[in-house]
Amino acid sequence: MPNDSKTGHALIQDHLRRLTTAPGVYRMLDAESRVLYVGKARNLKARVSSYARPTGHSGRIARMIRETAAMMFLSTRTETEALLLEQNLIKQLKPRYNVLLRDDKSFPNILVAKDHDFPQIKKHRGAKKEKGAYYGPFASADAVNRTLTQIQRAFLLRNCTDSQFEGRSRPCLMYQIKRCSAPCTGLIGAADYAASVADAERFLSGRSTEMQEQLAADMAAAAEAMEFERAAALRDRIRALTQVQTAQGINPRSTAEADVIALHMEAGQACVQVFFIRANQNWGNRDFYPRAGADVDEAEVLQAFLGQFYDNKEPPRQILLSHPIEDPDLMQAALSEKAGRKVEILVPQRGEKAELIEGASRNARESLGRKMAEGAAQSKLLRGLAEAFDLVAPPTRVEVYDNSHIQGSHAVGAMIVAGPEGFLKSQYRKFNIRGDELTPGDDFGMMKEVLTRRLTRLLKDDPDRSKGLWPDLMLIDGGAGQVSAVREIMEQTGVKDVPFIGVAKGIDRDAGKEEFHRPGARAFALRRDDPVLYFIQRLRDEAHRFAIGTHRAKRSKAISATPLDDIAGVGAARKRALLAHFGSAKAVSRANLSDLKAVEGVSDRLAETIYDHFHDRG
């Protein structure tokens, strides 16, 4: 609980008298009740007492203790519960002094759907709710797509949706390029297709060697029997399987299922490299850059990484680490409890597993080296940006705005964000233009709406500018007119200290001839060979790319929309049934009540709702 009269060591010492010796989680808060640190303990009193000592702390911990103005405690039944709760709170609260995993996206899987006579094979991300067999995780969408492409070439399985499958009368392009066997038009029977599905699942389960041996024998037998077309098809299948294995690189023999996790630290920065080994196959790797510090050791970084990384992911049977962690037995028990089976945490010293760690460590070292070099270059460009535009300091958050529309229709605004670490894609935002009073194509009006909504949100979410959400510089796509519109918005919202620049394309709209506009100053240009100019062009191009992509997605959604989307109770399945029955949304709108009731899956009550939607019977 907060204590107004004491801070730092004195506050912690005061709490010790009332603390339990049970396991639990503690939080340290500053004077404004912001969480500084979340920790777990086997014995709360013993753990917190270490902070009461006035000396012997690292610089980071000493600063944290000085800033501590309040503490909160929560006891748990077991230390395992404390560990799980600690990692959950760290992910939610993102305390300043904890090691944080900043990139925590889900990983894709391959799904062989089992709710159809001719199963579909596809990429799947998210909760495993669909009926079928899941294989993964894969490190990235690219890794999944490469594997899917080769599997389609090898086994000729369909990737079309069920509605596309039902609606075909002749084979599609995938059949023509030999990546599907066209079960939609009966060119392959259910039994033969099921055999191909079984082969694909054997491959994804790691039994590729025995399968390739069988395929080679079948190819030789077909050639012997002068069935050259079948022999050629089997040869193509073997080649496709070999290409998958080549793309995967190292495929360990004695490690069937593991995550290989290696850490490299340098100059207060950390890179964790994760390789996914499933079914004796390498299904890709991903690098992570947790927020650490100069006085944090490898054991603490890896311990925090494991807790946060597996918070929303199923752990494999083995986790191979480059360094020991602080509480291996506790972490192993927590992950085993989460998985519902035994999970081993190993730090291999020899053999194939050690070689896997060595490869992951090399990747982590090289990735961190590249990132640090890129960071140094980015910092130099941000310093140049500050000099070019007379900013008080190099910006750490640059927001770039752009609009996209076609003659005013499907208008969207886009905001991208860049900083010392490059583009911060998790911070990108899109704005659906809502202004009904806007004239179609009114770029000034659209920019006013976007900036008004952005600044209003900032004033609401971060009024004291303590969360790091406010930009140090705003770049606007446009010239003097756009700058004037932005200045008007700034005055209306009371925001006066955020610098902004209009980036106009200049004469002939050529790259390199950009003009920069600031309030109350003459337009100016940078030298054509100035690295800062190239940097601004990259920022503007990224904003334009994001705006165009958002606009196209909105336009595509609008094109595929039908009046049926506005009817309560009509979801995707019933929409397909109605369109299949009547042929078009217009025909649905003209149908009488009895015809609507005849559609499979449409109840009498829903038929009346649909009929009333198109016919005013009030």
Q: What is the pLDDT of residue 1?
A: 44
CATH of region 8-93, choose from 3.10.580.10, 3.30.1600.10, 3.40.1440.10, 1.10.150.120: 3.40.1440.10
Q: What is the pLDDT of residue 408?
A: 47
CATH superfamily assigned to domain 257-369:
UvrC, RNAse H endonuclease domain (3.30.420.340)
CATH topology of domain 398-558: Nucleotidyltransferase; domain 5 (3.30.420)
Q: What is the pLDDT of residue 244?
A: 60
Where the chain has pLDDT below 50, the residues are 1-3, 407-408, 618
Q: What is the pLDDT of residue 436?
A: 59
Judged on CB neighbours under 10 Å (0-12, 13-18, 19+), 550 is buried
**CATH class of domain segment(s) 563-614:** mainly alpha
For the chain, the structural domain boundaries read 8-93, 109-248, 257-369, 398-558, 563-614
Q: What is the pTM of this model?
A: 0.70
Q: What is the pLDDT of residue 616?
A: 62
Answer whether 8-93 and 563-614 agree in fold: no
Compute the Cα dihedral for 145, 317, 200, 123 and give only its sign. Answer: negative
- Quick: pLDDT tens for 155-212: 899 988 888 888 888 899 999 988 899 999 999 999 989 988 988 888 888 766 667 6
8 A C-beta contact, residue 375 and residue 421: yes
Gap between the Cα atoms of 442 and 437, Å rounded: 10
Cβ count near 425 (within 10 Å): 12
8 A C-beta contact, residue 431 and residue 450: yes
Give bridge partners of residue 399 from the DSSP assignment.
417, 474
Gap between the Cα atoms of 334 and 341, Å rounded: 11
Q: What is the pLDDT of residue 382?
A: 93
